[in-house]
Amino acid sequence: MTKEKLIQTSHSCKEVSIQKNINSEETTKEILAEETPIAIIYNGVSHVVMMASPCDLEDFARGFSITEGVITSLSDIYSIEVLKKDNGIEINLEISTEKFIRLKEIRRNLTGRTGCGLCGAESLDQVLKIPENKKNETKFFSKSILKALKNFSGQQEIQKKTGATHACGLFNSKGDLIILKEDVGRHNALDKLIGASLNTKILNDFFVITSSRASYEMVQKLAYLNLKLLVAISAPTALATRLADQIEMTLVGFARNNRYNCYTHPTQIIG
């Protein structure tokens, strides 16, 4: 198979024929999630290649640019163009001269892999970026968290088809879904959600649910939305809990079946 036929850029899913049982000639149809090389290019210079689902790519570019510190606001982006190639997808961003000069000074040229947020970091100083500590006075209702959890899985269309993607959802104080994004990579899903949320009026009592574990980078990225509650379906890491505690974010893990564990700032959840 040639590289041109190996990479798919137009759809997030692919229907394939599989053999149901190794000892049987029975075949059936199954839908698989696509993962595609996505190159993010600033002012004509390639910065990073990520393996991601080929959907919501402008949101991905905006969110990645914000959470990686390439830009500080959407006004720093002048244009976004998505180009499909035989060997992947290029996202070309034209950013302000000031931000591009700063980006070149950082000299970060990394290749990302699904589930890995540090590939290519040049020094330890580039790993931990501590968000500004903001006082946590926001209260969240337990019943709203549980309501959001019930609706969360049912809204994951790609996951329902493939069983192979992560999702991040933004919910309001009542537990109603505002935005949901999916991707084969959990970090990518959160970047897409952040990118899609930048033009949304987000209140302090909004919160995010992720279908993955809560790593330190998930906590770090969420801080860019100035939100104070992250709910993870799986476990948090110890570093994630220390960072969440330091920036006064409420971190919830193992959220499923009408229960959850609260690891930091439990007094912010009431009812």
What burial class does residue 96 get, using C-beta atoms within 10 Å of its C-beta: 0-12 exposed, 13-18 middle, 19+ buried? middle
Q: Which of 194, 188, 220, 179 is nearest to 74 (CA)?
A: 194
The confidence band for 123, taking pLDDT boundaries of 50, 70 and 90, is: low
Tally helices (H) and strands (E) across the chain: 8, 15
Does residue 254 surpass a pLDDT of 80? yes
Return the percentage of the chain with pLDDT > 70, whole number: 90
Amino acid letter, 8: Q
Q: At what angle do helices 57-67 and 186-197 cross, to 10 degrees?
A: 90
Does residue 195 surpass a pLDDT of 90? yes
CATH fold of 140-270: Cytidine Deaminase; domain 2 (3.40.140)
What's the CA gap between 265 and 135, in Å, rounded?
A: 12
Q: Which of 214, 267, 211 is nearest to 241 (CA)?
A: 214
**pTM score:** 0.91
> Which one is catalytic: 13, 55, 116, 262?
116
CB of 232 closer than 8 Å to CB of 218:
yes
Mean pLDDT, residues 203-212 taken together: 96
Please count the other Cβ atoms lying within 10 Å of the Cβ belonging to residue 228: 26
E strands, 203-268, are 207-210, 229-232, 250-256, 259-264
Q: What is the DSSP letter of 201?
A: -
What's the CA gap between 67 and 159, in Å, rounded?
A: 25
What burial class does residue 162 get, using C-beta atoms within 10 Å of its C-beta: 0-12 exposed, 13-18 middle, 19+ buried? buried
Mean pLDDT, residues 101-121 taken together: 59
Query: What pLDDT, in 10s, does the model give residues 40-87?
Result: 999 999 999 999 999 999 999 999 999 988 999 999 999 999 999 999
Does residue 113 surpass a pLDDT of 50? no
Query: What pLDDT, in 10s, does the model give residues 170-185?
Result: 999 999 999 999 999 9
**In angstroms, how far is CA 78 from the centroid of its own chain?**
23
Residue 151: both structure tokens together: 């609706």
More confident residue, 234 or 257: 234
The confidence band for 229, taking pLDDT boundaries of 50, 70 and 90, is: very high
Q: Is 116 annotated as catalytic?
A: yes
More confident residue, 262 or 224: 262
The DSSP annotation for 103-166 comes to HHHHT--EE-BTTBS-TT--SGGGT--PPPP------EEHHHHHHHHHHHGGG-HHHHHHS--E
Residue 3 confidence (pLDDT): 59
Residue 130 confidence (pLDDT): 74
What's the CA gap between 59 and 49, in Å, rounded?
A: 16
